[in-house]
Chains A and B, each alone.
Chain A
Amino acid sequence: QQPVQSPQAVILREGEDAVINCSSSKALYSVHWYRQKHGEAPVFLMILLKGGEQKGHEKISASFNEKKQQSSLYLTASQLSYSGTYFCGTPDNYGQNFVFGPGTRLSVLP
């Protein structure tokens, strides 16, 4: 079953912050985040492997609340290059059957 993402889309001005949420009705064993630019393949951003873990990649960070079965991606001081569609993804408890959420389209305007 697919994770759920919110919001579906967000428009920002350069320098503003955004939060993208990912949740699941089933247990999450790990959460991945990917970014896809228009016409390109998705690109890996980060993995969160256990509850409470937080990671960062430049000015993009994420948290994982295992108990609440949710993860959030934080984009601070957004740049034009952050525009794209962000997907969360998760495998099943065997580390297989990797499924993605429907995506959140982020547009950063000058």
Chain B
Amino acid sequence: NAGVTQTPKFRVLKTGQSMTLLCAQDMNHEYMYWYRQDPGMGLRLIHYSVGEGTTAKGEVPDGYNVSRLKKQNFLLGLESAAPSQTSVYFCASEGVHGELFFGEGSRLTVL
């Protein structure tokens, strides 16, 4: 039972490049979330999904897109990366009692 797995764990991009972060959970959870974490800013919600095929915007959605084609996967895409998107990204899925299970994080640097 792997829980929540994020790939890749580290990535360096140049401004304007695109990439996709993958979040996979094996707990059959409906709700999934993508957060970014910057020093002194806590965890800010980018997008979330309440089930397969559905997504919604969070606090800071600009510059990101998401897809939830399969229940177990939640993808976060950056179409044209900017230095302001340098951050640590966390994915989470919500358990039956409402608790969030987090992945280990993906550290992204945009040069």
Please report the C-alpha to C-alpha distance between residue A89 and residue B41 in the assembled complex, in whole angstroms.
14
Contacts of B35 in A (CB 8 A): 100
B90 touches A41 (CB 8 A): yes
Please report the C-alpha to C-alpha distance between residue A17 and residue B101 in the assembled complex, in whole angstroms.
28
**Dominant secondary structure at the A interface:** loop
A44 touches B90 (CB 8 A): no
Given A41-B105, A44-B99, A47-B99, the answer on whether A97 and B42 have CB atoms closer than 8 Å is no
Asked if A82 CB lies within 8 Å of chain B CBs, one says no
Tally of contacts, chain A with chain B, CB under 8 A: 60
In the complex, which of the residues A97, A99, A101, A102 contacts B56, with contact meaning CB atoms closer than 8 Å? A97
Per-residue interface assignment for chain A, residues 38 to 60, with 1 indicating a CB less than 8 Å from any chain B CB and 0 otherwise: 00111110010100000000000
Residues of B in contact, count (CB < 8 Å):
25
Can you name the residue of chain A whose Cβ is closest to the Cβ of B99? Answer: A44
A101 touches B42 (CB 8 A): yes
Contacts of B97 in A (CB 8 A): 47
Please report the C-alpha to C-alpha distance between residue A100 and residue B38 in the assembled complex, in whole angstroms.
13
A44 touches B42 (CB 8 A): no
Interface residues on A, range: 20 to 34
Contacts of B43 in A (CB 8 A): 42, 87, 89, 100, 103
Contacts of B94 in A (CB 8 A): 98
Nearest-CB distance from B93 to chain A (Å)?
Answer: 11
Asked if B50 CB lies within 8 Å of chain A CBs, one says yes
Q: List 30 A-B contacts (CB under 8 A).
A: A2-B42, A2-B59, A30-B98, A41-B90, A41-B103, A41-B104, A44-B100, A47-B97, A47-B98, A49-B98, A87-B42, A87-B43, A89-B43, A91-B98, A95-B98, A96-B48, A96-B56, A97-B45, A97-B48, A98-B45, A98-B100, A99-B44, A100-B35, A100-B42, A100-B43, A100-B44, A102-B40, A102-B41, A103-B42, A103-B43
Chain B residues with a Cβ under 8 A of chain A: 31, 33, 35, 40-45, 48, 50, 56, 58-59, 90, 94, 97-105
Chain A residues with a Cβ under 8 A of chain B: 2, 30, 32, 34, 40-44, 47, 49, 87, 89, 91, 95-103
